[in-house]
Amino acid sequence: MGFTLVYLSAIVLIPFAGLVLRACELSWADFWRLATTDRALAAYRLTFGASLIAALANALFGTLVAWVLVRYSFPGRRIIDAMVDFPFALPTAVAGLTLSSLFAANGWLGQFLVPLGIKGAFTQLGVVIALTFVGLPFVVRTLQPVLHNLDREVEEAAATLGAGRLRTFVGVIAPTLLPAVLTGFALAFARAIGEYGSIVFISGNLPFKTEIAPYLIVMRLEEYDYTGAVALAVVLLVCSFLLLGAINLLEAWTSRFAR
């Protein structure tokens, strides 16, 4: 316990406390002014909005990917399973550069999508694409152990009692998977809020349009506006804790309901 507390304090608690103490040096009026500029509010909207969309997409499609990888055997399954971890191994800056090259007007995918009006590079859609890319492994890897431990005899019993596939999924499988889906959603959402490297290249970083809050914090630091950077960082820190706390409470309630 002592080693755990010391390690967590050195890695997590002390840096967070330093950030909060630095923010406490500001008056409430100055903090509010720095944290709620028009540029900051636009960055918040894009950061949290794109993170929410990406996390929802990962919750849906990540569940499908995990289901297929666990329940079906097909050629190349192990390769696809290994590719799920690719966003973990790939440097985020490389991921952003690769995605921007793919979705640019002359890219492999962009040359077909841009004529259709789908612009994936240097737009808000590009931010969502990058956040979805980095968040997918969190959902898949959270769900796979649950699917492996899911007792198929319960499904067979439901089928024996006359339940169809849809009713079996809704009444038997979904309640069991829901806590894991919420956990994966929370992890993907939290990861997306703090993402920086993969978005730098694909977003274009246009103020009021495609600029995210982490990038704005870096810009404040490069301008030696440390108080402005601290104000923005504290807002993201507080929002992250509140959102994760709310999702964890929902997950706990869902777990009790499922039992």
| pTM for the predicted model, two decimal places | 0.88
In a domain, 14, yes or no: no
In a domain, 151, yes or no: yes
Could you give the CA distance from residue 86 to residue 77 in angstroms, rounded to a whole number? 15
In a domain, 134, yes or no: yes
Could you give the CA distance from residue 133 to residue 98 in angstroms, rounded to a whole number? 11
Structure confidence at residue 255 (pLDDT) = 63
Q: Based on the structure, what is the number of domains in the chain?
A: 1
The CATH number given to whatever domain includes residue 238 is 1.10.3720.10
Structural domain harbouring 158: 37-258
Structure confidence at residue 257 (pLDDT) = 52
Structure confidence at residue 214 (pLDDT) = 93
| pLDDT tens-place string over residues 100-139 | 999 998 999 999 999 999 998 999 999 999 999 999 999 9
Here the tokens at position 39 are: 């540029």
In a domain, 117, yes or no: yes
Q: How many CB atoms are located within 10 Å of the residue 49 CB?
A: 13
In a domain, 18, yes or no: no
Counting as low any pLDDT under 70, the low residues of the chain are: 155, 161, 251, 254-259
In a domain, 7, yes or no: no
Longest CA–CA span in the chain (Å) reads 68
In a domain, 126, yes or no: yes
In a domain, 139, yes or no: yes
